[in-house]
Chains A and B, each alone.
Chain A
Amino acid sequence: MKMRSLRRYQVALAVAGLALISAGCGSSAGSGGAPSGSGGTAGQSVPTAKLPVLQKIGKGEGKLNLIAWEGYLQPQWVKPFEQQTGCQVNAKYAGSSDEMVALMKNGGGGQYDMVSSSGDADLRILYAGDARPVNVNLIPSWKQFFPAFKSPPFNTINGVHYGVSLQWGPNVLMYSKKAFPTPPTSWSAIYDAKYKGQVTVPDNPIQIADAALYLQKHKPSLGINDPYELTQPQFQAAVSLLAGQKPLIEKYWDLASQEIFDFKNGNATIGAGWPYQVSALKADKFDIGDTIPSEGATGWADTWMLAAKAPDINCAYMWMRYISTPQVQAEQAVNYGETPDNMLACSYMDKIQAGSCAQYHANAPQSYFDAIALWKTPITTCDNGKQDCVPYSDWVSAWNTQVK
């Protein structure tokens, strides 16, 4: 009898173990990552602002550890850099802005040198004290950047740079040309009950900014000036627009490949996406159209941010110098399908692929740029100094509990 009950106990433990693995699966794996530093400095100052900047680029450390979007470290431009500088590039690819924030936070410091993060992550990284001031005087090509990308608010605070801008692009309205013989010209198509069950939008809280951008034009009474700086009533209006959109949604896509799959199979005929999906679908001979509607669009702008404890700082500066030059900017822009920040990249792009400069808007007028509201992290402090803007964490919880 004793033997029996013992066995039962052991089996119960084993089963409990199995159940726990499956039940706690997503979380227990990450629980080893102890939080770095405590507390935060929301809306006040950047903890690393006073760190001294490098005055002269010294001898390379022989290696460079980069966190990047997939496609950002292609051998075409990484190989020549390695040969020129002797800095061996080690790539860690991240799948989302939030993963980049987490990697910079949990790398324990000193593991990674730089990250190619987007504007919705940059402020979180630098206000968490995970980025380091950059001396742009050591990066000659920085002077050739479009003015908007020299000291953009998403990577430069009070005149202190925490990295160097890279490339940017819009979030476009995509539509199947078969379903839309007349191209849509307004974002209203994705809020229109007529297209119920055919709409797909990203599964991303930053989508609230897309709704806010739409309301900025269609409901001026709300007084929205910046889709990333929303007061509580403006925020609620955007959230309820999205909640009303939910019944029309066929799928909130998490991966670019999902959206490509859904357009190809006819599960979706209209939606919001990136130029990447458009070119992938075009390459597959799918009749896809894309446009920046009359309301304008949100967009992303990426920055090579310097890690606070970057161990290979000389190689990191060499990388910033290299990646900012018009030739390399052109190469990456054509390869990935995005717009370079360097004004001189246009002619190099056309040399690589005729017409690509115009295709990716590298020579577009200021009005094109003005139509794009670039991603930035929503924070409590509005531009006017008031503390009544809705912070990003509320965007996340509203997206999960009120929209979806």
Chain B
Amino acid sequence: MALTRAAAAPTPADEGLWLRVSSALWRRPWARATLLLTPGLAWFVLLYLAALVVLLINAFWQTNQFTGNVVRIWSVSNFTTILTTTAYLEDIGRTVGMAAAVTVVDALVAFPFAYYMARLATSRTRTALFVAILLPLWASYLAKVYSWLLIFTRGGLLDWSLGKVGLGQAHLIYTNWAVFIVFCYIWLPFMIIPVYAALERIPNSQLEASQDLGGRTWRTVRSVMVPLALPGIVAGSVFTFSLTLGDYITPLLVGGTNSNSIGYIIYNNVGTANNFPFAAAMAVVPIVIMAVYLFGARATGALEAI
């Protein structure tokens, strides 16, 4: 379209050139597609795929035990180590469990919120709520986690408030509960927005039809709303699940001695142990988990709802 509009160039010579280019593009849809997609695809191939391929290749190499130099001998020993070491399997299990728990809780919190936004709120309230959801996304991730650190710490806001109402001390700092709460908070907007989009799309006529057929509120929610909103929930869960699965900063900052995550093992092996191949092998784990997850999500048609 932009090209046709540009054809309004002043000089006749230019006009002829632009006309020829635009009509050539008009006749050849494949050329149009190439022109529009090349920059994005080049970016995708170079930055995502190339980096991933390097990662995958590295996963099959080793490092020299002492100098840390990479030894390019093919073997699956990194994967064997991951699959046979109890500590790594526990860490993977903990991370997946955490991602699942965060996803479920975020979905439970997000659904009524998104429902209110999409179907009950006035347009003014809706805007205000949108701002409320999006505003924290503009704040630095680290600042948000650190502010939770101040809430959870001994004698921090939480303990202080509980003490005021006579409930004693929660002492959540450096526990998996702290990690869980921070994750739920940080990824909540990523759940609300797709659920909102899905709920907003449900035609009123379908809800009316349900009521006309004798469906009470609860029945309508269960049989009409939730199935129609499900793709939105699944789409949101892809975000909350994958973001939790890959994160290491929150467990590092508010987690305790039992909070190692997949991301932390990767970080630790690149940063501290200087064992890039092992980190690469570990990075394959969340990729496999997400592939399985996305395959399941695709079956629900959720990927269209994003």
Contacts and interface: CB of A to CB of B under 8 A. Distances in A.
B69 A36 contact: yes
Contact of A404 (B247, B248, B260): B260
Interface in A89-144: 96, 98-99, 101-102, 105, 124, 127-129
Given A22-B242, A24-B283, A128-B69, A404 B266 contact: no
A15 B64 contact: no
A145 to B, nearest CB: 28
B103 interface: no
B71 A392 contact: no
B304 A11 contact: yes
B195 to A, nearest CB: 16
B23 to A, nearest CB: 25
B257 interface: yes
B228 interface: no
A16 B294 contact: yes
A22 B280 CA distance: 14
A26 B156 contact: no
Contacts of B63: 393
Interface residues of B, number: 69
A367 interface: no
Contacts of A12: 294, 298, 303
A218 B40 CA distance: 64
A1 interface: no
Interface string B240-274: 00110111100011001100100101111011111
B67 interface: yes
Contact of A205 (B156, B272, B286): B272
- The residue in B63, B155, B276 that gathers the most chain A C-beta atoms within 10 A of its C-beta is B276
B274 A102 contact: yes
Contacts of A18: 239, 242
A204 interface: yes
Given A8-B303, A15-B306, A42 B156 contact: no
Given A23-B287, A204-B272, A105 B68 contact: yes
A25 B256 CA distance: 22
A42 B69 contact: no
B69 A35 contact: yes
Given A22-B245, A42-B64, A124-B66, A396 B154 contact: no
A29 B303 CA distance: 27
Interface in B75-104: 85-88
A31 B277 CA distance: 10
Contact of B283 (A15, A23, A265, A267): A23
Nearest to B285: A23
Contact of B266 (A16, A26, A377): A26
- The residue in B265, B274, B289, B306 that gathers the most chain A C-beta atoms within 10 A of its C-beta is B274
Interface string B17-51: 00000000000000000000000000010001001
B174 A251 contact: yes
A247 B52 CA distance: 38
B272 A28 contact: no
Interface string B108-148: 00000000000000000000000000000000000000000
B13 interface: no
Given A127-B67, A267-B174, A401-B87, A32 B54 contact: yes
B224 interface: no
Contacts of A96: 271-272
B197 interface: no
A26 B267 CA distance: 6
A252 B257 contact: yes
A128 B54 contact: no
Interface in A354-381: 377, 379-380
A393 B67 contact: no
Contacts of B58: 31
Nearest to A266: B154
A264 to B, nearest CB: 9
B245 A401 contact: no
A19 B290 contact: yes
Contact of B55 (A22, A28, A401, A402): A28
Contact of B238 (A19, A33, A99, A105): A19
A267 B71 contact: no
Contacts of B280: 27, 31
B281 to A, nearest CB: 10
Given A124-B66, A127-B67, A128-B69, A26 B279 contact: yes
Given A15-B238, A35-B69, A27 B279 contact: yes
Given A22-B246, A25-B246, A39-B71, A379 B271 contact: no
Contacts of A391: 65-66
Contact of A31 (B51, B68, B86, B239): B51
A38 B66 CA distance: 12
A401 B246 contact: no
B153 interface: yes
A254 B259 CA distance: 14
Contacts of A205: 272-273
Contacts of B256: 250-251
A265 B155 contact: yes
B48 A26 contact: no
Nearest to A44: B66
Contacts of B153: 261, 265, 267
B272 A396 contact: yes
B70 A27 contact: no
A261 to B, nearest CB: 8
B72 interface: yes
Given A33-B276, A98-B274, A267-B153, 15 more contacts: A15-B303, A19-B238, A19-B242, A20-B52, A24-B286, A26-B266, A26-B270, A31-B58, A42-B66, A124-B67, A128-B68, A205-B273, A265-B156, A267-B173, A377-B66
Interface of A: 7-8, 11-12, 14-33, 35-43, 96, 98-99, 101-102, 105, 124, 127-129, 204-205, 246-247, 249-252, 254, 258, 261, 265-267, 377, 379-380, 391-394, 396-397, 400-402, 404
25 contacts: A12-B294, A15-B238, A17-B48, A22-B246, A23-B287, A24-B286, A28-B51, A31-B55, A31-B58, A35-B69, A35-B276, A40-B69, A40-B71, A101-B68, A105-B274, A124-B274, A129-B67, A247-B257, A251-B174, A252-B257, A261-B149, A391-B66, A393-B65, A400-B268, A400-B273
Sorted from nearest, which 9 A-B pairs have the closest CB atoms?
A: A40-B64, A35-B70, A128-B67, A23-B286, A401-B87, A40-B67, A42-B66, A19-B242, A22-B246
